[in-house]
Amino acid sequence: MTKAELVAKIAEKAGITKKEADAALKAFVEAIHELFKRGESLRIPGLGTFKVVKRKARKGRNPRTGQVIKIPARIVLTFKPAKELVKEVSS
């Protein structure tokens, strides 16, 4: 699904114009960016939980050469879907 298709679907479901739906989507995305920059998580009932996770530095192995390499510490975003969503998708 593209952004334009998502905006159209939001406008249809909410009974608003596509322009209003686009503005709402932009505001939602900006709010999420600010939230994640602060290292906070986001829980949306029925959808799931987005969480900022700090991974420690670790040692890995180059699969081609077998050489030990250092994998630097980094911050990643994880998503754990809600049970309702998993059940709905898998049925």
Residue ranges of domains in the chain: 1-38, 40-91
CATH 4.10.520.10 fits 40-91, yes or no: yes
Rounded Cα distance, 7 and 18, in Å: 6
Q: Is 29 exposed, middle or buried (0-12, 13-18, 19+ CB in 10 A)?
A: exposed
pLDDT at 91: 83
CA dihedral 25, 30, 32, 34 (to 10 degrees): -170
pLDDT above 90 for 8: yes
pLDDT at 15: 96
Q: Report whether 37 contacts 24 (CB < 8 A).
A: no
pLDDT at 2: 96
Q: Mind listing the pLDDT tens digit for each residue in 27-73?
A: 999 999 999 999 999 999 999 999 999 999 999 999 999 999 999 99
